[in-house]
Structure 1
Amino acid sequence: MTLSSEADARARLLAERADATARVAALHRELDRILDDTADRDADDEHDIEGASMPFEREQVRATLRQATDHLAEVDAALGRLAAGTYGVCETCGRPVGEQRLAARPSARTCVPCASRRPPSRG
């Protein structure tokens, strides 16, 4: 990886990290709001007119928060690979991940052929 492409990769990753951090913070605020809104309610969600929607909304935000937190961890791992000099190298086969794949998914750990052979997860 050249110095300019390393700088570009770092800039992309840092921008993605800032976006992911902001998303995680927003989801934490949203979850806190939901929990605050339901804290004073009767625990009988089943018979509350809004009861079915509040637990669903709460769990939907929790799931989205987990995904956003996982993505942030992937970006941090990519920054670690960049610092270690292994960014852009497929963790499975050792070949280049590919410029287009890294442009589309800066935190990618594997090349397209290796990613297509395994179950979807961290890419």
Structure 2
Amino acid sequence: MDDPRARLERERRETLKRLAYLSDDFDQVVAASYDSNADDEHDPEGATIAFERSQLGALADQAQRRLTEIDAALERVAAGTYGICERCHRPIASDRLQARPVARTCTECA
């Protein structure tokens, strides 16, 4: 397995890029809706704009939660507790950490 800190830092950079991209897209959708006379309740196009805003907002929230998880994992790396289950205090299997580097618990406790 590669260095956990390096992998988490890489995932953090990717998540920040995704968050910036989603924020830009969200801003563009909002700006486009200002230029239209779409009424979200009565105009068929308004529903599409509302759906796009909602979808982009949900994806941005998901990316923000991922960023929070990554930051917490980086704190565990710094504290020397990364890879230790928060419930049973046994090591988390490397396969689990490879698949889910932000894992806080072992498979048995999850």
Which TM-score bucket, shorter chain as reference? over 0.9
Q: Distance in 1 between matches of 2:34 and 2:88?
A: 51
**8 Å CA contact 2:23, 2:60 repeated in 1:** yes
CA RMSD, aligned part only? Answer: 1.4
**8 Å CA contact 2:25, 2:56 repeated in 1:** yes
Q: Paired residue for 2:52?
A: 57
1:42 deviates by 3.1
Alpha-carbon distance change, 43 to 53 in structure 1, aligned in 2, over 3 angstroms: closer
**8 Å CA contact 2:38, 2:45 repeated in 1:** no
Identity of aligned residues (%): 52
Is residue 25 of structure 1 aligned with residue 20 of structure 2? yes
Q: Deviations over 1:45-80 (max 9, x none)?
A: 122231111101100110110000000110011000
- How many corresponding residue pairs? 110
TM-score by length of 2: 0.93
Question: Which of 88, 91, 94 is residue 96 of structure 1 equivalent to?
Answer: 91
Q: Distance in 1 between matches of 2:57 and 2:93?
A: 33
Q: Distance in 2 between matches of 1:38 and 1:92?
A: 48
Structure 1 residue ranges without an equivalent (≥5): 116-123
Structure 2 residue ranges without an equivalent (≥5): none
Q: Distance in 2 between matches of 1:26 and 1:39?
A: 20
Amino acid in the other structure paired with 2:25 = E
Is residue 12 of structure 1 aligned with residue 32 of structure 2? no
TM-score by length of 1: 0.83
Which structure carries more relative contact order (alpha carbon 8 Å, separation 6+)?
Answer: 2
